Structure 1
Amino acid sequence: MELVIPILVSVGIVVAGVGVLIGVLRSRASKQTAVLASQAQAELAQLEQTAGSALVRTDEKIRLAADELGFAAAEFGETAIGEFTAAIGRARQRLAEAFQLNQLLADHIPDTDEQRRDWNQRIIALCESADASLGEQVSAFAARRAAARATPAAIERLVGSVALVRSSLAGPSETLQRLAERYTDAALAPVAGNPAQAARLLDFAGRSAEVARSRLAAGREDEAEAAVRAGDESVHRASALLANVESFEVEALRAESTLAAMIAESHAELAVARAIPAAERQGRLDDAIAALEASLAAVPVSADRTDPIGALTSVRQTNTALDDAVAERADRAERQTRLRTQLVTAIDDAELQITAARDVLARTSAGPDARTRLAAAEHELADLTTETDPERALGRARRAAALANEAALLAHQAAQSGYGGYGYPGGQQYGGQQYGGRQPYPGPGYPGGSGQGPYSRPRGRGGDGMGVLGGVLGGLAIGGMLDGLGDLGDFGDFFD
């Protein structure tokens, strides 16, 4: 009894402590939950305030944009405000959807926190999209208005540019006259008409300036601005044409330098190509050699008027054609080497298959089909000595192996069908096991091997248990070992 009381007191203290701990933990969890709920409500309140501000801002922007649309129509015409009108229509549709969502939030039906969050976010997105569309149009018309105000100055700038470029027409014309002493008419053809074309473009730019003045005086600022833009573009093109004349000489000098290197390279490649045996050059390679030689012969001597860019183009093209032909010949030679390597393996395979087939036919009473295929295989192998094409020789070697394989398979099937028996004393079997202490072809494609190879035929019944049983029984019969064996009824169960 004296021990029970202290124990009960201790248990009571522990229970009380656990109760206090649980109470503290529950209090903390409750406080954390309250804090999180308070934060979530504060975030929702901030989101609702942002959405409300967005509604007010977008509504005001649409009203201002409608006023701007009226000013733009009066200033630039109805045809110029089509996209602006469409943008305002799209903005109003988005604002209407946003107002509908806000109405759902304000009605008497309670909404979940998730709904409040989603709808307010949607309101903000709709308002931002409408604002962006309107902002693009307002900015575009502001830029047009600024350009219209700047049109008078732009016209004067255009007139000055036309005069400046026109004063430089003489230089390119003189350059062309000097270049004509060194280069052929064909070489100068890309730039020969540039000064005259530039003069026509400058005339057009001058007329554009006059049109811009008249449209500006009539209050048609957009047409005046368009005329100035067309004139500026014409002046820019004229300047580029004249600059091309001056840069042609530099390009021609670079072409002459590159042509000299290309000619030296071509002569070296021609020497290599001519060293290839004539029999291997026939066709594309000979044609490529002749074409490159003709291109080199057409290059004029330095004392004549030349076309370095055209000559370089011609030599480069024929040089590339020769490179391609030589590469094709190299690929062909590589293929011949690969075929010869494959041919050695194929001949070894054919000889092995023929030897194995001869062994099978010698031990069985094979029919005419098996013997015919063996004879055909031997004929294919014998004819390889006169075959000069490695690809055709490879095909014949593979056919020889396949025919010998078929001959062995047919002889094997005939033996299992009762024609002459099929089995040999000493456990000699044909069907993937040892044959006379060796495997004639221990790989795919041979009857009884590890599978059907690329030149083999289906084995039919050659691999099933009863086929092996037939071979065993045949061997027993030949060896005179059936006497005294009694009932063999259970022997077949071994193969079930």
Structure 2
Amino acid sequence: MELIVGAGAAVVVAGTVLAGMVFGRGRRKQRRLAEAQARAAELERLATEAGSALVRTDERVRLAEDELGFAVAQLGEREAQDLAAALQKARARLSEAFRLNQLLHDHVPDTDAQRLEWNSRIVELCRSADAAVTEQTAALAERRAAVRRTPSAIEQVRAEAERVRGLVPEARETLAALVDRYTDAALQPVAANPDQAERLLQFAERSATVAGKKLAGDRGRDADAAVQAAAETVRRAEGLLEAVEQFEMEALRAESTLGAMIAESRAELAAARAMPATARSGRIDAAVAGLEQALADLPGPGERTDPIGSLTRVRQANTALDDAVAAVQEAGRRAEQVRAQLATALDDAHRQVSAARQVVDDYRAPVGPDARTRLAEAERELAEASAERDPERALGGARRAASLAAEARALAHRDLARQQGYPGGYGGGYGGGYGWEGVPRGRSGSGDMLGGILGGLVIGGMLDGLGDIGDLFD
């Protein structure tokens, strides 16, 4: 009997121990899960902060570059040399930040430690770059403000606005003529420019009126901010109208590059077809078919064209064939072909980068960090390819630059399309952590240049002196 009782007690004890072990394991598993969720949340928060910092600092540096130009015009190069030096340092730091962001978004998986380190470094670099230019622009602000605190400055802005307004009808006529030659997709970057320019000029006139009221009320700093907003807006309006006039020249250059790339592609197709069937089968045959299709899809004589888009599609197919053939080509023949292709590839990269830069410069604040990162990386790749002495490396860099720039342009247009009810930020993707109050909601819809200008001015800190920028809509 005692043996049975003892055995029962042992079972009970063993069961209790086992239950304790299971319970402990469950607690540890829950704790590990909670820790993992906390780490994931922190990484997401840091990624959001890094994305917002990239946009904010990029805008701040761009506006500081504008300020440098204004300061040189008003005060001379000597007075602005400290800002010029600060901008050079800020650009270097921002370039490193964009490079890290590109690493975070490339095809190579990143560890949590890398994501934490790189996003933290992006935030740190952006803060450093921002501080460098903020200190120097603040030092120039009062000297420039003294120039703006006069009725003549307000009248000058009004005169400039009137002059630029006179350019709108010509831009509309140019755009109407372009519609007959280029597709809607090709014209998308400039199609709304005359309308956007008129809105900007209306805003500039209201800003000048506000500046006059603030000046009369002895509110010099507010008057400075309003005049500054008006002058920047007039300059952007003129840039939009110039972009319409320059579009055809850029399109003609792109068409010339496309013509060279078509001739190059046909030569590559002939060379690929001449290869032995055993070497061609598989990847090369598939690439040949892809390039043939890309050439067949080009618009015929008399049809509307999209030179930049066509360049992108033919280049991608051309590169695919080139990569497929490279593995079986003789080294000497390959080097000769690379040298022949390099000039066209560099020209294509310049066209793609220029098109992407135009979108970012025109629409400013609504364009998010992904598009800006791709563009910064494309510009870096293009600069390195242009300086590279090895033709093979230069060709690869030029093609990467063109691809990144095309991706940047597509991402920028995606951001513009998503900006419903702008201003306010980047929705869930980037937290919207740098919206602002005072601008009436609903006045700046998708792709609204006025919203982009105001966003850039606010993000860049140029309207900090104006207590209520809603006054500009009175």
TM-score (norm 2): 0.39
Tell me which of the two structures has the higher relative contact order, counting C-alpha pairs closer than 8 angstroms and 6 or more residues apart. 2
